Structure 1
């Protein structure tokens, strides 16, 4: 899935906070958005979907963090809980996308996300055929609706920009592998 889809999931996870404790909506949104994006930073540092993706371990931190935020809500505890929760959901949800191949629409990889406790790769389920597929954009758009409705103009702007970036990415996704190869030559 696209990073923006994961960010939309993180924002969706923050919506109950916006409804119950509006004064903590912004920290919740920022934590959810950042946590939704964070695991994909391993595109730049290490092995993608292994170095910063922890489909089992994030939960060990997220569950107590959510409990702490519930018992002692503050900007810091809420943002931290949403960050960890969104990172956990991101890491698990990559299983529902494609594998790690350059052209994921060809479905040649059986590596979706690394499961550290078992020292093995989980296989892709391809519910969303590949990052940047039309259904990926549709998923991001649907998941973004509550964020567009419940949060203030700053968060709405971030969501709108994310959706525009997503639409452009979807439009050029299948041409990217060839374009990168041409650029490198």
Structure 2
């Protein structure tokens, strides 16, 4: 669920409020965007392959993160948190369901594509499907650090994300029928 990925990204950026408060807002924005960015491939390309790079995002995040420690500029920090959050998103999709429209049927053996290995990894179903009750619990838990650490617009983003997650969870299984898919 995109809201879970966004909440995780924001939780990753939250410690900067105490470590480097001047960089926390840009880290938060980078993390939020990075948390949802891989799912743009729902609309462009092959979902969980075209913009999901579990290995490459993670390696790039480590490299840019090192640069951010040495040269902590706003742009470098935002990029580092974007990459970190996109990497965590791409890896965490492996622990969910497959890429099908009705993942509770478990008809897909494709969780996420690992480009260096040139193969799909199988879903683990720790979270049974996007929008499952356990997915909502993760959104709620990971929203706490961002809600407590940030204020203003970022706190509002957390509240809107939680509201969207509650709605989505409540109606997830009906959505394919609504859109005739």
**TM-score when scaled to structure 2?**
0.97
Match of 2:61, SS state, is helix
What's the counterpart of residue 51 of structure 1? 50
**TM-score when scaled to structure 1?**
0.95
Matched, 1:148 2:147: yes
Per-residue deviation at 1:133? 0.4
Structure 1 CA distance for aligned equivalents of residues 29 and 49 of structure 2:
24
Per-residue deviation at 1:64? 0.8
What's the counterpart of residue 125 of structure 1? 124
Match of 1:118, SS state, is coil
RMSD across aligned positions (CA): 0.9
Structure 2 CA distance for aligned equivalents of residues 31 and 157 of structure 1:
16
Larger helix percent: 1
Structure 2 CA distance for aligned equivalents of residues 16 and 73 of structure 1:
15
Structure 1 CA distance for aligned equivalents of residues 111 and 33 of structure 2:
21
Structure 2 CA distance for aligned equivalents of residues 65 and 152 of structure 1:
27
Structure 1 CA distance for aligned equivalents of residues 160 and 44 of structure 2:
25
What's the counterpart of residue 14 of structure 1? 13
What's the counterpart of residue 83 of structure 1? 82
Task: List runs of 5+ in structure 1 lacking aligned partners.
Answer: none
**Deviation by residue 1:95-150 (Cα, 9 ceiling, x = unmatched):** 01000111111111110000111111000000000000011011011001010001
Match of 1:27, SS state, is helix
What's the counterpart of residue 110 of structure 2? 111
Task: List runs of 5+ in structure 2 lacking aligned partners.
Answer: none
Q: Number of matched residues?
A: 181
Matched, 1:163 2:162: yes
Match of 1:108, SS state, is coil
Match of 1:114, SS state, is strand
Match of 1:51, SS state, is coil
What's the counterpart of residue 67 of structure 2? 68
Query: Deviating runs (4+, > 4 A) in structure 1?
Result: none
